[in-house]
Amino acid sequence: MSRFEIGTDDFLLDGRPHRVLSGSLHYFRIHPGHWRDRIVAARDLGLNTIELYIAWNEHAPTRGEWITDGALDLAAFIDLIHEEGMHAIVRPGPYICAEWDNGGLPAWLFTDPEVGVRRFEPRYMAAVEEYLERVYEIVRPRQIHNGGPVVLVQIENEYGAYGSDKDYLRRLVEVTRAAGIEVPLTTIDQPTHQMLQDGSLPELHKTGSFGSRSVERLATLRQHQPTGPLMCAEFWNGWFDHWGAHHHTTSAEASARDLDELLATGASVNLYMVHGGTNFGMTSGANDKGVYQPTVTSYDYDAPVDEAGRPTEKYLAFQRVFAKYNGRSAEETQAALKRTIAAMGDPASRMAPTTSVVATASRPLWSSFDFDGASETERPRTFDELGHYRGFLATRATLTGGDGQAVLTVGEVRDRVYVFLDGAPVGVMARDHHDVSVVLPRATGELLLLVEDQGRVNYGERIGEHKGVQGDIRIDDIVVTGWRTAPLDLDALFGDDSVLDEGSAIAGPVAGPAVVTYDFDIADAQNLFLDTSRWGKGVAALNGFPLGRYWRRGPQTTLFVPGPAVRAGRNRLIVLEQESMADSTLRFAADLQLGHTDF
């Protein structure tokens, strides 16, 4: 069997110098029907390795649960990498950031307010060790010396940007080695002296994360890594987007120039990302550095392979750069180039079918909540108290004040609250606007709050925070009590396959919150682009597959619909519209519409 080691100056594959040319693919952001296609695209780009994060909260949405089938079949994904003749780098965290909900840490971990976060604390470590042991059961037999593709395993993730607990890092190493992981272990940090010092251990191989000024940053890394191969383990060739901001892009020419500069030093590289994919469902994370900024559904990342899996101009530019360094024959390089040009093709041939369909049915969202089954509490329960860690909940109470105007106030909004009085909309309190109050027309009647989790913070000190309305709810100075709080079961809502009354078809505007259903036929199962430009804010699913969130705020105005989720024949799209649709017609666009850019 092969061996992969760290030498004095190089990575060594079976004793010979080897350069790692890698690209990031997140299996949990790609429909499994597209896994092989994306791996092959990375290989044709000129890469020899796939890097992958593991999202703990996806595999273990509740304590004790461990899901490894379907879209979370980690073993199958790594085996596909091997089948396509590539190596793999595994980054299990436990924290991954990745603009992913809670940075990949499960929300249930923090229901105990005393639990630690990314440090050597007994309750946190017990859960982490249980998780890592399960991960390594999958990874261990797939290491390169066991005949598999795995050549490197990373410890934690950019830890120097968060903490400096060396006992924590040492325990992660002990657990990893005890589980039978024998390949070299790495860490990654931005190349500053403080982060490189705090984020690693002497026995771990340090790598850097950056997107430009490679010579300077590798020099800093070399000061902390006197021997062994230099590696940029996250070469940032694009960026992610927030709702309400612009779509980030970088010049293909400039990015290729930066990549060439990096590879000319002799360093190894991992592109972050080679293909970004999609934050399907309610999986996107958020940042909060004084202002809460939730991440959009598209994780296109302006990567060489776009959200729909197609090569871009950046792909072509990178392919030419990698051809100078990957040691492939001229024939192999030319064949890959021809496949790329053919895949890019005539722009007209890349367009998806467009169509428009009126809604089959619409109903108020409130019927999806079981208030009668909810116990009465002094204050509204939070998402975390309910063990309901994503999506929506609703809470209601009866007000018995006067008929004059009153002010409703809360302690903190996490993350968006729609306020209704006797069924009529009153206002919205939004975390990103720092809202904590709204004016009620009167202080009597049924007060109903629809609360949305817009994504848990994935970076910084607010990791692990709870979701929902925080603190007391007051009408003027009086605390409101007697609440019934119910979660929304999105899986059940999106899995509805009941026969609908054909006579209930609607067209035109829709007032939310509402559940809008569309039944339509399509000739061939293929990628589609759902046009949300005339809708308000909500989340959609096709044939039970969760496509993700949309919002008129943009920048994106399409949702990517992966072909394997589409049926040849009858399909059902279910949309939860939180606000209002100016036009409820279902439309598919010809291509991705990811929004305006900054140049």
CB-CB contact of 128 with 155 (8 Å): no
Residue 469 has a CB neighbour count (10 Å cut-off) of 25
243 and 392 together in one domain = no
Q: 541 pairs with which residues across the strands?
A: 546, 574
Please enumerate, as own/partner, the contacts of 337-346 that have beta carbons within 8 Å and a separation of 24 or more.
Answer: 339/44, 340/44, 340/311, 340/315, 340/316, 341/316, 343/310, 343/311, 344/310, 344/311, 344/312, 344/316
CB-CB contact of 539 with 525 (8 Å): no
The DSSP letter of residue 102 is: G
Does some domain include residue 599? no
C-alpha span between 327 and 263 (Å, rounded): 13
Does some domain include residue 295? yes
Q: Write the burial class of residue 232 (CB in 10 Å: 0-12 exposed, 13-18 middle, 19+ buried).
A: buried
| Res 1: pLDDT | 83
Determine the distance from the C-alpha atom of residue 438 to the mean position of all C-alpha atoms in its chain, rounded to a whole number. Answer: 32
Torsion of CA 437, 440, 445, 446, to 10 degrees: -40
206 and 263 together in one domain = yes
Does some domain include residue 584? yes
477 and 509 together in one domain = no
453 and 530 together in one domain = no
Does some domain include residue 13? yes
Q: In one letter, which amino acid is 185?
A: L
C-alpha span between 469 and 463 (Å, rounded): 17
Q: Are strands 528-531 and 16-18 parallel, antiparallel or unpaired?
A: unpaired
C-alpha span between 287 and 95 (Å, rounded): 15
Instruction: Give the torsion sign (CA, 71, 75, 76, 78).
Output: positive
Does some domain include residue 86? yes
The total number of structural domains in the chain stands at 3
Number of H helices, E strands in the chain: 12, 34
C-alpha span between 448 and 319 (Å, rounded): 55
| Res 351: pLDDT | 75
360 and 395 together in one domain = no
438 and 496 together in one domain = no
**Which of 434, 453, 487 is where one domain is finished?**
487
Tokens of 219: 């020099």
The per-residue pLDDT for range 226-285, each reduced to its tens digit, is 999 999 999 999 999 999 999 999 999 999 999 999 999 999 999 999 999 999 999 999
C-alpha span between 19 and 11 (Å, rounded): 7
Does some domain include residue 457? yes
C-alpha span between 232 and 357 (Å, rounded): 48
CB-CB contact of 527 with 350 (8 Å): no
442 and 501 together in one domain = no
**Which residues carry out catalysis?**
158, 234
**Which of 453, 470, 487 is where one domain is finished?**
487
Residues in the chain predicted with pLDDT less than 50, given as ranges, are: none
397 and 307 together in one domain = no
C-alpha span between 472 and 319 (Å, rounded): 57
CB-CB contact of 573 with 494 (8 Å): no
> What's the number of CA atoms in the CB half-sphere (13 Å) around residue 37?
18
**Which of 310, 344, 378 is where one domain is finished?**
344
The per-residue pLDDT for range 411-441, each reduced to its tens digit, is 999 999 999 999 999 999 999 999 999 999 9
End-to-end CA distance of the chain: 51
Continuous segment of H or E residues that includes residue 357: strand 355-357
**Domain extent for 308:** 4-344
Does some domain include residue 594? no
Does some domain include residue 428? yes
Instruction: Give the torsion sign (CA, 262, 266, 267, 271).
Output: positive
CB-CB contact of 214 with 561 (8 Å): no
511 and 462 together in one domain = no
202 and 57 together in one domain = yes
63 and 83 together in one domain = yes
Q: Are strands 474-475 and 444-452 parallel, antiparallel or unpaired?
A: unpaired
| Res 72: pLDDT | 98
Please tell me the pTM assigned to this model: 0.97
Residue closest to 259 by CA, chosen among 321, 303, 319, 199: 321
380 and 470 together in one domain = yes
Continuous segment of H or E residues that includes residue 153: strand 150-154
CATH assignment at residue 113: 3.20.20.80
CATH assignment at residue 445: 2.60.120.260
